[in-house]
Amino acid sequence: MTTRIAILGYGNLGRGVELAIKKNSDMELVAIFTRREPSALKINSNAKVVKVDEIESWKDKIDVLIICGGSATDLPVQTPKYAKMFNVIDSFDTHAKIPEHFKNVDESALAFNKTAIISVGWDPGMFSLNRLYANAILPDGKDYTFWGKGVSQGHSDAIRRIEGVKDAKQYTIPIEEALQAVRDGKNPELSTRQKHKRECFVVLKEGADSLKIEQEIKSMPNYFIDYDTTVHFISQEELNEKHSGIPHGGFVLRCGETSNNTKHLIEYSLKLDSNPEFTSSVLVAYARAAHKLNLEGQYGCKTVFDIAPAYLSAKTNEELRASML
Amino acid sequence: MTTRIAILGYGNLGRGVELAIKKNSDMELVAIFTRREPSALKINSNAKVVKVDEIESWKDKIDVLIICGGSATDLPVQTPKYAKMFNVIDSFDTHAKIPEHFKNVDESALAFNKTAIISVGWDPGMFSLNRLYANAILPDGKDYTFWGKGVSQGHSDAIRRIEGVKDAKQYTIPIEEALQAVRDGKNPELSTRQKHKRECFVVLKEGADSLKIEQEIKSMPNYFIDYDTTVHFISQEELNEKHSGIPHGGFVLRCGETSNNTKHLIEYSLKLDSNPEFTSSVLVAYARAAHKLNLEGQYGCKTVFDIAPAYLSAKTNEELRASML
């Protein structure tokens, strides 16, 4: 079976989906929808580039639409809207608003016999799955999630908004001693500062006051004040050369007891060269699931929790049992 | 909802299930079925101990039967037999015979509207799940599974069968350099010898020839000849004191590319103080799933691949989305 995919939004995530589809021989990228002028888009595949206004005319030519917008303003509008026309996947990651987003998407999808999967990626996504499995297996235990080492787009943006800053990149780094204490089964209570530190690489505008800017970064509420933060001032050339990647990753751990002093540690970790390319690869695997589920008549909104693992694979259940169990 | 559980077979695994049920407030252990004389069994709960001959009279008093027999001779007979009377779970782990076992159990369960889940545990089980998820996300990559450090019952038994050996314990140990090469994204080709080593603690009978026995262990086909094996001769007291546990664990890794030279590493690992207690905890989580699936009318044989993660949890889907996604 071939799954015909379309992408809405051609940023980092959309380009990642385009790459991921090339790694899956049962997938075909048929169209990329954009708000920009289609002729202005340089893409890396044979997909048609189409103005988003024309999307409805593609209703019968696409099995799954992967929506690659942002969680702040794009997805809350786009996913419920397009779930009326297509099976859809998104990577909605505003944890607190997931119940509301789920409800909106569910209503649209159910009304039009479509299948939608929201909050797909690695956190939410693969990390969530691992939290669920580990909690179900070890109900008497404690969860830990560490992020990094990786680039936080939000924190990098926050630094760039400071007057006198020309460019910046921020890394979130898990603190090794904290991670080790968890692995050693010590079930530590960890403050925000004890779990992660932050490292910033900043390019100054000419004449900017580095001491003042360093102080401003370190004292920024929500973003930096609760962390040990290191600030390095470097040239634009060095930033471009050494910090142009968007690596990320992290660790989900659960330590639990099954009887007195009998402990078990479950650890899941990701080390990603490219955050958007990995997220896209998860989106594409769940696009396959959405297509299969829809063919079975399983409509409405789902999350990674609701989908049996076999739906993600191109192999049949018989092949999976024989080769991977 | 309460799930009423019964155990068939009260060995290490059965005792582990009894412990795991105490950690789950929605589970109740109602009966333990045994081939032994019930009065001879000392158990650690209020369950009824019942001769297995009477099992059929419990058909309406149990939601799920967890079958705790061995894969060699018990489960191939027991699981298809009892899937005609109960929803059942087993930990069948003879990888090569899973397709045949699946078919037999599926026929029984379908004929009597029961739900069966086979090959539940950590390998097969949680390791299988992680292989599947990682393969679906990174189709262009390479898998690695390492086991240990942990006690291999089969290898310990093999040593104990040697003439002159009174008692023995064997540890399977992953080779750190190999694991590190995988984590470093080197995609190494690893021979059996390069992945694991074996360490044996042996108690000799009086007058036994230690040199001859060490040679016999190290040259044993299938079990030891393909590995670097270390043999230590110790006293029964030391074996009892330092090597009475049954720890285990291991690592499932997949390294894959999403574009040229853009690599990602997915790693899942377990560090278990007690192999049977952890396996039992997985069995109990899937017993909850079997009960829910049966109430929904999803009959027949399943594996961990066929079951959506949410079924394992005592929480509702709404609670899961709000708390774990």
pLDDT digits (tens, 9 = 90+) for B235-280: 999 999 999 999 999 999 999 999 999 999 999 999 999 999 999 9
To the nearest whole Å, the CA of A123 is away from the closest chain B CA by: 8
Q: What is the mean pLDDT of residues B52-69?
A: 97
Distance CA A53, CA A272 (A): 35
In this complex, is the C-beta atom of B263 within 8 Å of any C-beta atom belonging to chain A? yes
Contacts of A266 in chain B (CB under 8 A): 126, 268-270
For chain A, residues with pLDDT lower than 50 are: none
In the structure encoding, which two tokens stand for residue A43, read together? 């893409």
Q: Are B213 and B165 in contact (CB under 8 A)?
A: yes
Which residues in chain B have Cβ-Cβ distances shorter than 8 Å to A126? 133, 137, 266
Asked if the Cβ–Cβ distance from B136 to A23 is below 8 Å, we say: no
Distance from CA of B87 to the nearest CA of A (A): 19
Q: Which residues of B touch A258 (CB under 8 A)?
A: 16, 19-20, 23, 274, 277-278, 280-281
Going by their DSSP bridges, the two strands A27-34 and A3-8 should be labelled as: parallel
What CA–CA distance (Å, rounded) separates B77 from A188? 46
pTM of the predicted model, to two decimals? Answer: 0.96
Instruction: Name which of B23, B129, B130 is nearest A258 (Cβ-Cβ).
Output: B23
Inter-chain touch B313–A273, beta carbons under 8 Å: no
* pLDDT at residue A223 in the model: 94
For A158, the token pair is: 């926050």
CB contact under 8 A, B310 and A306: yes
| pLDDT value of residue A105 | 98
User: Which chain B residues touch A292 with a CB distance below 8 Å?
Assistant: none
Establish if A12 touches chain B: CB-CB under 8 angstroms.
no
Write the ipTM. 0.97
Kindly state whether A233 is in contact with chain B, defined as any CB-CB distance less than 8 angstroms.
no
The mean pLDDT of B296-314, rounded to a whole number, is 98
Q: How far is CA B44 from the centre of its chain?
A: 22
Task: List chain B residues with CB under 8 Å of A21.
Answer: none
Helix axes B98-111, B74-82, angle to 10 degrees: 20
pLDDT at B56: 97
DSSP A173: E
Cβ-nearest to B137 among A138, A265, A285: A285
Which among A282, A266, A252, A13 has a CA at the least distance from the CA of A147? Answer: A252
Question: What is the per-residue DSSP string for B93-154?
Answer: --GGGHHHHHHHHHHHHHHTT-EEE-S-SBTTBHHHHHHHHHHHH-SSEEEEEEE-SEE-HH
Are the beta carbons of B128 and A312 separated by less than 8 Å? Answer: no
Residue A33: strand pairing partners: A8, A50
Cβ pair A88, A116 in contact under 8 A: yes
Q: How confident is the model at residue B144 (pLDDT cuts 50, 70, 90)?
A: very high
Q: Is the CB of A273 less than 8 angstroms away from the CB of B263?
A: yes
Establish if B290 touches chain A: CB-CB under 8 angstroms.
Answer: no
Residue B11 contacts A, CB cutoff 8 Å:
no
User: Which residues have C-beta within 8 Å of that of residue A161, sequence separation ≥ 6?
Assistant: none
Percent of chain B whose predicted confidence (pLDDT) is above 70: 100
Contacts of B270 in chain A (CB under 8 A): 264-267
Give buried/exposed letters for A268-303 (b at 16+ CB in 10 A, else e).
bbbbbbbbbbbbbbbbbbbbbbbbbbbeeeebbbbb
Per-residue CA distances from A29 to A3, A7, A37, A59, A78 (Å): 9, 8, 19, 15, 20
Q: Which residues of chain B have a CB within 8 Å of the CB of A307?
A: 308
Which pLDDT score, from 0 to 100, does residue B17 have? Answer: 98
Q: Please, is A143 exposed, middle or buried when counting C-beta atoms within 10 Å of its C-beta (0-12, 13-18, 19+)? A: middle
Q: How many CB atoms lie within 10 A of CB B317?
A: 16
What's the pLDDT score for residue A230? 98
CB contact under 8 A, A322 and B98: yes
The confidence score (pLDDT) of residue B232 equals: 98
Contacting residues of B for A285, CB less than 8 Å apart: 136-137
Rounded to the nearest integer, the mean pLDDT of chain B is 97
Give the model's pLDDT for residue B33: 98
Instruction: State the pLDDT at residue B148.
Output: 95
Q: Choose among B123, B171, B159: nearest CA to B143.
A: B123
User: A271 vs B265: CB contact, 8 Å cut-off?
Assistant: yes
* Closest-approach residue (CA) in chain A for B313: A136
Write down the residue that tokens 């990329």 correspond to. Answer: A32
